[in-house]
Amino acid sequence: MRPRKAYEWLVEHHRINARYDSIRELLGWDQRTHLPKGGQANRAAQITTLAGLISGRKTDPKIGDMLGDVEGSSLVRNKLSDEAVNVREWRRAYDRAKKIPEWLAVQIARISSECEMAWQSARQANDWQSFMPHLGSLVELKREEAGRLTTTGTAYDSLIKQFEPGETAESLAAIFSKMVKPLIDLTNEIRESPFQPDPEILQGYSPIWKQKELIRQITGRVGYDLDSGQIDRSSHPFTSAIGPGDVRITTRYRADSFAEALFSAIHESGHALYEQGLPPEHWGTPRGTAVSMAIHESQSLMWENMIARSTGFWKMFYPSLQTHFPWLESIPRDSFHFAVNRVQPGLIRTEADEVTYNLHVILRFELEKALIGREIEVEDLPHAWNEKMKKYLLIKPPDYAQGVMQDVHWAAGAFGYFPSYALGTVYAAQFYAKAAKDIGDPESFFEAGHFGPFLAWFRGKIYSQGSRYLPRALVKTVTGEELNPRHLIDYLDKKYGMLYALC
Q: Where do contacts with a copy of itself occur on this chain (CB under 8 A)? A: 16, 19-20, 22-23, 26-27, 30, 34-43, 45-46, 49-50, 53, 225-230, 232, 242-246, 248
Shortest distance (Å) from residue 228 CB to a copy of itself: 3
The answer to whether 211 and 252 are in contact (CB under 8 A) is: no
Whichever of 13 and 495 has its CB closer to a copy of itself, that residue is 13
The answer to whether 263 and 256 are in contact (CB under 8 A) is: no
Shortest distance (Å) from residue 265 CB to a copy of itself: 16
Q: Name all contacts of 231-238 with Cβ < 8 Å and 24+ positions apart.
A: 231/265, 232/33, 233/33, 234/32, 234/33, 235/32, 235/120, 236/32, 236/350, 236/407, 236/408, 237/264, 237/265, 237/267, 237/268, 237/350, 238/32, 238/268
Whichever of 18 and 97 has its CB closer to a copy of itself, that residue is 18
Whichever of 25 and 493 has its CB closer to a copy of itself, that residue is 25
CB atoms within 10 A of CB 386: 15
Distances (CA, A) of 47 to 18, 150, 225: 15, 26, 29
The answer to whether 222 and 235 are in contact (CB under 8 A) is: no
Question: Does residue 268 carry a catalytic annotation?
Answer: yes
Whichever of 19 and 437 has its CB closer to a copy of itself, that residue is 19
Sort strands 239-243 and 246-251 into parallel, antiparallel or unpaired: antiparallel
Shortest distance (Å) from residue 209 CB to a copy of itself: 9
Distances (CA, A) of 395 to 97, 178, 385, 387, 404: 41, 23, 11, 9, 13
Shortest distance (Å) from residue 207 CB to a copy of itself: 12
Shortest distance (Å) from residue 22 CB to a copy of itself: 6
**Dihedral over alpha carbons 100, 160, 229, 237 (to 10 degrees):** 110
Whichever of 165 and 220 has its CB closer to a copy of itself, that residue is 220
Whichever of 1 and 41 has its CB closer to a copy of itself, that residue is 41
Shortest distance (Å) from residue 459 CB to a copy of itself: 17
Active-site residue among 268, 275, 297, 354? 268
Whichever of 114 and 366 has its CB closer to a copy of itself, that residue is 114
Alpha carbons 221 and 375: distance in angstroms, whole number: 48
CA angle 65, 70, 75 (to 5 degrees): 170
Shortest distance (Å) from residue 248 CB to a copy of itself: 8
Classified as helix, coil or strand, 243 is: strand
Whichever of 46 and 126 has its CB closer to a copy of itself, that residue is 46
Shortest distance (Å) from residue 61 CB to a copy of itself: 20
The answer to whether 275 and 239 are in contact (CB under 8 A) is: yes
What are the φ and ψ backbone dihedral angles of 195, each rounded to 5 degrees? -90, 120
| Number of residues that make up the chain | 503
The answer to whether 112 and 342 are in contact (CB under 8 A) is: no
The answer to whether 322 and 370 are in contact (CB under 8 A) is: no
Pick from 270, 262, 321, 313: which is nearest to 446 by CA?
Answer: 313
Give Cβ neighbours of residue 5 (< 8 Å, ≥ 6 apart).
Answer: none
Active-site positions read: 268
